[in-house]
Structure 1
Amino acid sequence: MARALILVIDSFGLGAAPDAEAFGDVGANTFANLADAFHHETGRKLHLPTLSAMGLLHAATDAGKKSPAVTGHAPQSGAYGYAAEISTGKDTPSGHWEIMGVPVLFDWGYFTNRQRSFTDELLQNVYQKTGIEGCLGNCHASGTTIIGELGEQHMQSGLPICYTSADSVFQIAAHEDTFGLDNLYQYCQQVRDLLTELDMNIGRVIARPFIGDCSANFERTGNRRDYSVLPPAPTMLEKLTEQGGKVISIGKISDIYAGQGISEAYKATGLTALIDTSIEQLQKQGDNSLIFTNLVNFDQDFGHRRDPVGYGKALEYLDARLLHIDDELRDDDILVLTADHGCDPTWHGSDHTREYVPVMFYQKNMPAIDLGERDTFADIGATLADIFGLEPLEYGVSFKPQLLLK
């Protein structure tokens, strides 16, 4: 019986997707552009021997029509390719849901006014729903920037900081001690309920707790929580659990899927803890299990913060830790590496970028197999459904026959 571990390298795009022009992202290439910046700023190329041996450089060069500035190997073992997105947005839920066979083919609701993002009518509804009269922010903002600007005022006034971005999100920042973590979660759930009642089709309400006593030392904590709408149809995760399998969520996966199809959920803060927890679950879980991990730090710490050097060092860390993961893989286990969208740290602004994502399937001692370009992220879910013996999904084409699995 199959076991699989999926690592979503959050925001790790491989080059502008075919429809990037519609998103203003022609020229975006998270991997190649951050590798160039890393080389320029550090004087050395990225060193990714494990990922390159799994075919990453080959896939990235084909996808982005540019060879990243990386030292590594020619493909040695593993299937490698790249996929375009068919969902209408370049956001986290759309990418993840499409990976598991349910693309988002409708339009999300967005808060497009950058200066006064939430209407007075909506805010009045929020105040009535939550019982807190007023908020700070009401704009498009970087999460780290806005707590630096408004955190002290928030602590003095007790008013939450409400803001948004180019994604379909209503974000709420509050101090863990002065506002209270439970109060923040309750407030976010009330806002989630309200947006659903108003049929605004906003993908996520995100709790953004922080600590510190002044703007000089405010920092966000690992107690983030996402309040997502339900996927519009059952994903491969639900189909697996319905057939007696287990889905183990690590990090924010459970939040992204609104708990649907999740058997066990484990929180972990930071790249090290996320990988450590993934390894612990590999050591623990039996047959017919899917361990699903989102490596959020690539996106939130380096992509959105436009830090190509930090992004590159995180990739090198992941590359080294893949050897530890390989040590825990059984001969017939599957390791999947992919992403949910791009977030080019050299691109203008601080939003996600519409890009191809890697599609990498690895099993011990398998040959190198070029999967080429895939038309949808859903090919990943379709292939896993095939591996786990499930009925075919509505979207996606399985490439299991190409994998030559044990």
Structure 2
Amino acid sequence: MARAFLIVMDSFGIGGAPDAAEYYNGEHSDDGAATFQHIAEACAQGRCDTKDRSGPLRVPNLKKMGIGHAAHQATGEWPDGFSEETDLIGRACAATEVSKGKDTISGHWEIGGVPVPFDWGYLPKTIPTLPDDVRDGMIAAANLPGILADRHAEGLGVIEEFGQEHIESGKPIVYTSADSVIQIAAHEKHFGLERLYDLCEATRKLADKYKIGRVIARPFLGENPETFERTGNRRDYSVPPPEPTVLDRLEGAGHAVRAIGKVADIFAHRGVTDTRKVSGHPALMEETLKALDELPDGGFAFINFVDFDQLYGHRRNPAGYAAALEWFDARLPEILGGLRPDDLLIITADHGNDPTWTGTDHTRERVPVLMTGAETAPGLAVMRETFADIGETIASHLRIPNGTHGQPIGRV
């Protein structure tokens, strides 16, 4: 019986969003942002040469799956080092987001078949950024001496800046971004992991009336800026999707749904029968390979490879992003080799995060849809007008009724 595997290369956009000019990083619009293409360009120009990698971007397996074709369809231009590939092993296309926003939750929900039908609430680029009642409610709920940062910030940088003061004062680090999110960073030992989770649960309730999509616990360890590092105990407190996603529909039909990485949190744990909460690309890859071996007939595995986004996109590190892409590509044959004859694999992204762009926020972009397996004919598919077509392709493959927001992508 058929199985389905969906991998989100978090933030691996391919440019070309028709409404990119309406989205901003600071004062600069996202018009022209193209994560994949600009990484390939930077590599070709030698701007990504480090002790770990050098030269043009080398992703031969993604290339055979059609990443160059998807990027060309999205923008009308071939990325540096990519051209018409005739020896394809997959079917490729680009997809356009219809949800308002360029955040993780909107992208994933739409991939799951449910575009976001409303405007999220966003926090202003002021210091402080939190509404008074949210700040005061957090302090009262956790008996805090106060909070630190209270502004828009990049996650790793704000921990480096305020981590020492946090340890000394007991005040958690609270920050936001262009996403609809409140993030709370605290030391696992000095502040306490369970105390951080309790604080996030209280904040989730306070944030509801402002339509904030997620409250995220960001635990870390270390004793100084040189040793601070976030741990794998991140937890997202999301509002639930407004209607059943493909995960809900599969679970309701009796299918196994395994969520790997942060996926279960994004969907408020709805429609998930098995959660594998791991972080870091090596651990995520191992869980993916386990799923290929263990997932029962009719099962669906939904995996998010987050490091592309949080370690390299937000930190505007094209060399690191390029190295991560090459690492993923080198491991891709293990995934392809684990597929059974009736399995379908789809590789996509949830938004862009162009590491060559101004600012530190996500970028509004189209995403690739790379499909292989289950008698999928190699070639270029028609460009999709919504990410929801991805979820409906999964639904069709696993033979459950389709939802109302998308159509299955033709695979022949």
Same fold at TM > 0.5: yes
Q: Does 1:44 align with 2:44?
A: no
Q: Distance in 2 between matches of 1:77 and 1:161?
A: 47
Partner of residue 356 from structure 1, selected from 347, 366, 381: 366
Q: Distance in 2 between matches of 1:340 and 1:183?
A: 31
User: Displacement, 1:366?
Assistant: 4.2
Match of 2:17 in 1: 17
The residue matched to 2:219 in structure 1 has which SS?
strand
Partner of residue 216 from structure 2, selected from 179, 197, 206: 206
1:403 aligned partner, one-letter code = R
Q: 1:303 to 1:101 in 2, by over 3 A?
A: same
Q: Distance in 2 between matches of 1:86 and 1:350?
A: 23
Q: Kindly provide the CA deviation profile for residues 180-232 of structure 1, in whole angstroms up to 9, marking residues without a partner as x.
A: 11111111111112222xx1110000111111111222111121111100011
Match of 2:26 in 1: none
Whether the aligned pair in 1 keeps the contact of 2:90 and 2:376 (CA below 8 Å) is yes
1:349 aligned partner, one-letter code = G
Match of 1:3 in 2: 3
Q: Kindly provide the CA deviation profile for residues 350-374 of structure 1, in whole angstroms up to 9, marking residues without a partner as x.
A: 0001100011111166431311311
The residue matched to 2:93 in structure 1 has which SS?
strand
Q: Does 1:66 align with 2:71?
A: no
Match of 2:348 in 1: 338
Whether the aligned pair in 2 keeps the contact of 1:54 and 1:75 (CA below 8 Å) is no
Q: Distance in 2 between matches of 1:140 and 1:289?
A: 40
Whether the aligned pair in 2 keeps the contact of 1:52 and 1:74 (CA below 8 Å) is no
User: Displacement, 1:289?
Assistant: 0.3
Show structure 1 runs of 4+ deviating over 6 A: none
Q: Does 1:290 align with 2:300?
A: yes
2:187 aligned partner, one-letter code = H
Match of 1:165 in 2: 177
Whether the aligned pair in 1 keeps the contact of 2:121 and 2:210 (CA below 8 Å) is yes
Q: Distance in 1 between matches of 2:162 and 2:203?
A: 20
Match of 2:40 in 1: 35
User: Displacement, 1:176?
Assistant: 1.0
Q: Distance in 2 between matches of 1:167 and 1:342?
A: 13
- What percent of counterpart residues are identical? 47
Q: Kindly provide the CA deviation profile for residues 280-323 of structure 1, in whole angstroms up to 9, marking residues without a partner as x.
A: 11101110100110000000011001111111111111111110
Query: What is the TM-score when the length of structure 1 is the normalising length?
Result: 0.96
Q: Distance in 1 between matches of 2:82 and 2:75?
A: 17
Whether the aligned pair in 1 keeps the contact of 2:68 and 2:82 (CA below 8 Å) is no
Map 1:72-111 onto structure 2 (within 5 A).
Answer: 73-111=85-123
Match of 1:147 in 2: 159
User: Displacement, 1:122?
Assistant: 2.5
The residue matched to 2:381 in structure 1 has which SS?
strand
Match of 1:265 in 2: 275
2:165 aligned partner, one-letter code = Q
Match of 2:31 in 1: 26
Provide the alpha-carbon RMSD of the alignment. Answer: 1.4
Unpaired runs of at least 5, structure 1: none
Q: Distance in 2 between matches of 1:172 and 1:157?
A: 15
1:25 aligned partner, one-letter code = D
Match of 1:275 in 2: 285
Partner of residue 186 from structure 2, selected from 154, 169, 174: 174
Q: Distance in 2 between matches of 1:93 and 1:75?
A: 35
Q: 1:388 to 1:133 in 2, by over 3 A?
A: same
Whether the aligned pair in 2 keeps the contact of 1:35 and 1:308 (CA below 8 Å) is no
Query: What is the TM-score when the length of structure 2 is the normalising length?
Result: 0.94
Whether the aligned pair in 2 keeps the contact of 1:77 and 1:365 (CA below 8 Å) is no
Count of residue pairs the alignment pairs up: 400
1:17 aligned partner, one-letter code = A
User: Displacement, 1:258?
Assistant: 0.4
Point out the more displaced range, 282-291 or 68-77: 68-77
Point out the more displaced range, 341-350 or 214-223: 214-223
1:33 aligned partner, one-letter code = H
The residue matched to 1:293 in structure 2 has which SS?
strand
Q: Distance in 2 between matches of 1:71 and 1:83?
A: 19
Q: Distance in 1 between matches of 2:68 and 2:34?
A: 13
Match of 2:225 in 1: 215
Unpaired runs of at least 5, structure 2: 24-28
